Structure 1
Amino acid sequence: MAAPYRSREGLSTRPGAYGGSSDEIQLRIDPMHGDFDEEVSGLRKQVRKLRDVAQEIETEAKFQNDFLNQLMEKVLMPTALRNELPD
């Protein structure tokens, strides 16, 4: 997998310890050419954006799940009523 978290130099993924399948984010900052505060601030902003996107996805998934449940009830209700009618 190409490094999906790569956004700037120094930010990359690596396989988990002991050959695990999960990826870890590894950050390398050159102390001579990098500003730690600026890098941390940028990472915090990215985390905040990702958290907001995850929240929106969760909200949309709940909405769609509720919608599908209501739709299934409306579709199945006539079938259940028809099955209860005498032949």
Structure 2
Amino acid sequence: MNNKERSKIAGCAGFSRLVYNFGLSLLTQYWEFEGIKASDAKRLAEIEKVFTNYVKTKPEYAWMKQYPSAIYSSALLNLAKATLAMA
């Protein structure tokens, strides 16, 4: 493996971690509002929509376009699995 490949893999991992933490942050904020009656799965689906339609469109996050959407979808899917394990 060369340095370019190592760098790309590290970038993918970092992007995945950023998305996971973003989703976790929003999800835990939802937990604080007892009036919201939705499952974590529905909340995570909404978080993915926010990420796709709002966050990724901001100019400061233009760098995210170099990574496939499967990375952030997988990160949020892993978050969903982790929340199920906590229940």
TM-score if structure 2 supplies the norm length? 0.38
Q: Which is strand-richer, 1 or 2?
A: 1
Higher relative contact order (CA 8 A, sep 6+): 2
Work out which of the two has the higher radius of gyration on C-alpha atoms and give 1 or 2: 1
